[in-house]
């Protein structure tokens, strides 16, 4: 429990980093202007310097999904997961990537383990099942 509190406190501090917020805003502006490659570079830079923050990871993940850059997506998902101590959210991100990659040998056991995990709540199980459908 103490570790979770410390992780959340660190996460809050990271989210309030003005330099990161500026880069994120700039990436969003570039994206809206159609400058996707430039936005991608900023998203990668942000996620390399501060992995584990969903707000910054999701846009990068979405872009890499659209371009089917599976190797890069796996690298950034691994970094995201490590920064979050392989928590439920990071496991769900891996599940999503494995499903997109059609890696049944990886997503099937992960999904089974997650659904059978008694420590996760009903909403999380619904989230998992939605990804599988």
What predicted TM-score, i.e. pTM, was given to this entire model? 0.77
pLDDT tens by residue, 74-129: 999 999 999 999 898 999 999 999 999 988 899 889 888 887 876 777 787 787 77
Question: pLDDT tens, 9-30?
Answer: 666 555 568 899 999 999 999 9
The residue length of the chain stands at: 133
DSSP 81: H
From 70, 79, 75, select the one nearest 52 (Cα to Cα). 79
Taking the C-alpha atoms of residue 49 and residue 42, their distance in angstroms, rounded to an integer, is 11
Angle between helices 54-66 and 36-49 in degrees, nearest 10 = 140
Nearest to 48 by CA among 83, 22, 16, 7: 83
């Amino acid at each position: 429990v103490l570790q979770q509190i410390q992780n959340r406190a660190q996460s809050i501090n990271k989210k309030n980093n003005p330099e990161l917020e500026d880069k994120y805003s700039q990436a969003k502006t570039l994206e809206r202007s159609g400058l996707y490659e430039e936005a991608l570079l900023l998203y990668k830079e942000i996620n390399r310097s501060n992995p584990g923050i969903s707000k910054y990871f999701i846009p990068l993940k979405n872009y890499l999904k659209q371009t089917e850059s599976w190797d890069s997506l796996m690298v950034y998902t691994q970094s995201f997961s490590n920064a979050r101590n392989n928590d439920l959210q990071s496991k769900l991100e891996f599940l999503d990537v494995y499903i997109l990659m059609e890696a049944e040998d990886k997503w099937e056991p992960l999904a089974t383990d997650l659904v059978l995990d008694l420590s996760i709540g009903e909403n999380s199980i619904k989230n998992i099942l939605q990804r599988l459908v």
